[in-house]
């Protein structure tokens, strides 16, 4: 990102929680993108997306969700899923300030951030001109046993901030060993979820995942077919249920969860598909 300037700042979320965010302003702006990252990670892990979109004329805003990265909040905890959505609305409104009518505003969400993005698009359809989903969390490959889920629901009421390991296997995020090594050693990456996070997230999957007809924006969904962290079949089923006329699916059968951070050759294909979709509609 030698020629791409990064600015960082903080902004208040919906309840006063301070959110850290990065802004990458375009030299000759043609469109704007807000990025919603995944569980346990942070805004600094989207270098390849920034490198791909900024030269096209994109200005990007990427915030750390509450309880993630440099933002405030207990790691991996949220009282209500709509806290994430409300924070995202703050960021979308920030990105939309003084925006010319000719400059479209897009939302890109990865994994848990994809679920947040879908929930936002469902609740605030007029704020966006397009929606991009990368390996969205619309189900898990192996749902927890019923007894464990019941315990989690009980603890969510009794001890909502109880912190648990998210059990995600870092070796399954990418085939690129350098990416995995960097992820494991990243001080801003965490492996925690709370009992309340679990119940609220599962509820949101049922609500938003069961409402594909509520999505009204042109939608690109990019899915790794060998995803061991979220359910690719659930994402594909959601895509089939979309009723919006302009919808595009890119299914990469061999790829792991972080399709934008896969091996150089594979990530190049994924990012080229992203760029082509944007160029065909907004440039």
Does some domain include residue 161? yes
Does some domain include residue 23? yes
- pTM of this structure: 0.96
Q: Lowest-confidence range among 79-93, 104-118, 152-166, 227-241?
A: 152-166
What is the secondary structure of 199-225 as a DSSP string? HHHHHHHHHHHT-GGG--S-EEEEEET
Does some domain include residue 137? yes
Q: What is the pLDDT of residue 156?
A: 78
Name which residue leads in pLDDT, 161 or 78: 78
- Residue range 115-139, pLDDT digits in tens: 999 999 999 988 999 999 999 999 9
Does some domain include residue 149? yes
Does some domain include residue 202? yes
Residue ranges making up the domain that contains 46: 7-282
Q: What is the pLDDT of residue 145?
A: 67
Does some domain include residue 2? no
- Residue range 266-281, pLDDT digits in tens: 999 999 999 999 999 9
**Total domains, the chain:** 1
- Residue range 177-224, pLDDT digits in tens: 999 999 999 999 999 999 999 999 999 999 999 999 999 999 999 999
| Per-residue tokens: 233 | 């079949």
- The CATH number covering residue 225 comes to 3.40.50.1820
Residues contacting residue 76 through CB under 8 Å, at least 6 positions apart: 39, 40, 67, 68, 163, 166, 190, 191, 192, 193, 194, 197
Does some domain include residue 158? yes
Does some domain include residue 235? yes
């Amino acid at each position: 990102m030698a020629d791409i300037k990064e600015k960082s700042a903080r902004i208040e979320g919906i309840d006063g929680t301070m959110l850290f965010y990065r802004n990458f302003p375009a030299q000759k702006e043609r469109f704007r993108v807000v990025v919603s990252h995944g569980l346990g990670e942070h805004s600094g892990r989207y270098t390849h997306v920034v490198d791909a979109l900024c030269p096209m004329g994109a200005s990007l805003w990427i915030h750390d969700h509450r309880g993630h990265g440099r933002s405030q909040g207990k790691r991996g905890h949220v009282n209500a899923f709509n806290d994430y959505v409300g924070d995202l609305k703050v960021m979308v409104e920030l990105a939309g300030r003084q925006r010319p009518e000719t400059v479209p505003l897009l939302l890109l969400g990865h994994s848990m951030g994809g679920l947040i993005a879908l929930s936002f698009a469902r609740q605030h359809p007029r704020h966006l001109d397009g929606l991009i989903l990368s390996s969205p969390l619309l189900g898990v490959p192996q749902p927890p046993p019923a007894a464990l889920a019941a315990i989690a629901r009980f603890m969510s009421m009794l001890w909502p901030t109880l912190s648990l390991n998210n059990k995600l296997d870092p070796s399954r995020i990418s085939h690129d060993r350098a990416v995995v090594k960097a992820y494991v050693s990243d001080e801003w990456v965490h492996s925690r979820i709370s009992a309340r996070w679990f119940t609220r997230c599962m509820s949101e999957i049922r609500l938003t995942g069961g409402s594909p007809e509520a999505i009204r924006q042109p939608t690109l969904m990019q899915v790794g077919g060998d995803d061991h962290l979220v359910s690719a079949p659930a994402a594909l089923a959601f895509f089939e249920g979309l009723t919006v006329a302009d919808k595009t699916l890119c299914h990469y059968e061999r790829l792991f969860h972080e399709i934008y951070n896969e091996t150089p050759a594979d990530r190049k294909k994924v990012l080229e598909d992203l760029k082509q979709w944007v160029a065909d509609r907004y440039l």
